[in-house]
Amino acid sequence: MLDTADHAAPFRDRADAGKQLAALLQPYAHRPDGLVLGLPRGGVPVAYEVARALHAPLDLCLVRKLGVPDHRELALGAIASGGVRVLNPDVIEGLAISASTIDAIAARELQELQRRDRAYRGDRPPPEIRDRTVILVDDGIATGATMRAAISVITPQRPARLVVATPVAAPPICDELSRLVDEVVCVTMPVRLSAIGYWYEDFSQTTDEEVRQLLAVSPGFTET
């Protein structure tokens, strides 16, 4: 895990963050087994810059955050394909969120996860993971629930090496994730993270069309 100063200048946007992150990932450049997986939607522009700099194929790891009611940016957990559900007990207990509320949120987000799968991938098959060096990329990691869900999807597929890469995350989260994967790479690890968007001058929402466009110009994206 790479250590950085607690107070870094904000990233201009996700592309800038991806370029800074890619500089730390150069040991993984030009690997024949390399694969970069972006977490839609915000992680994809970051992952695109990483994949381009490393000369690696880009694909997706579809994960959906379960946001707290009336505070959607705070994750009470996350879901991923294959029935994976990861919960954040501290958030759930602290806000007294009921099991029925969690189930309702998960059902709604599953529909969105399935919609995104159709919108982004269409008939394309998912990438081959086994024996590859896989780099999971998101635009920031707050509670870690979304990334843990992604890890839960990828790990059983037996990658040769699994790396989590992000522009910004809190040190405790990086420590936690480092016990689940081979390496965690982060540009800046502020002691007080607050909102991920604070570290970006432009943190406007990534659209479905932007995701599709970035995949369309990524030569490694699996073709039909």
If one counts every other C-beta atom within 10 angstroms of the C-beta of residue 16, the result is 18
- Cβ–Cβ under 8 Å, residues 121 and 60: yes
What pLDDT, on the 0 to 100 scale, is given for residue 121? 83
Provide the H-helix boundaries in the chain: 14-24, 43-54, 89-94, 99-121, 145-154, 171-178, 208-216
pLDDT of residue 1: 42
Task: Look at residue 105 in the predicted model and tell me its pLDDT.
Answer: 94
Q: What is the pLDDT of residue 2?
A: 42
**Residues 6+ away with beta carbon under 8 Å from 124:** 221, 222, 223, 224
pLDDT at 43: 97
Looking from the CA of 209 toward its CB, the CA atoms found within 13 Å total 0
With residues binned 3-state (H G I as helix, E B as strand, rest as coil), the percentages for the chain, rounded to 5, are: 40, 25, 40
Rounded Cα distance between 200 and 193, Å, is 12
* CA-based torsion, 165, 138, 77, 129: positive or negative: negative
This prediction has a pTM of 0.86
Which residues touch 51 (CB under 8 Å, ≥6 apart)?
36, 57, 58, 218, 220
**Which pLDDT belongs to residue 221?**
64
Q: Would you write out the chain's pLDDT as a tens digit for each of its 224 residues?
A: 444 444 445 899 999 999 999 999 999 999 999 999 999 999 999 999 999 999 999 999 998 889 899 887 788 988 887 788 989 898 999 999 999 999 999 999 999 989 988 889 888 888 899 999 999 999 999 889 889 999 999 999 999 999 999 999 999 999 999 999 999 999 999 988 878 999 999 999 999 999 999 998 886 665 43
| Domains (range + CATH), the chain | 14-63+126-216 (3.40.50.2020)
Q: What is the pLDDT of residue 172?
A: 94
Residue 220 near residue 58 (C-beta atoms within 8 A)? yes
The single residue listed with the structure tokens 């090496």 is 161
Q: What is the pLDDT of residue 219?
A: 67
Measure the CA–CA gap between 117 and 33, rounded to whole angstroms.
Answer: 24
pLDDT at 7: 46
Q: What is the pLDDT of residue 224?
A: 38
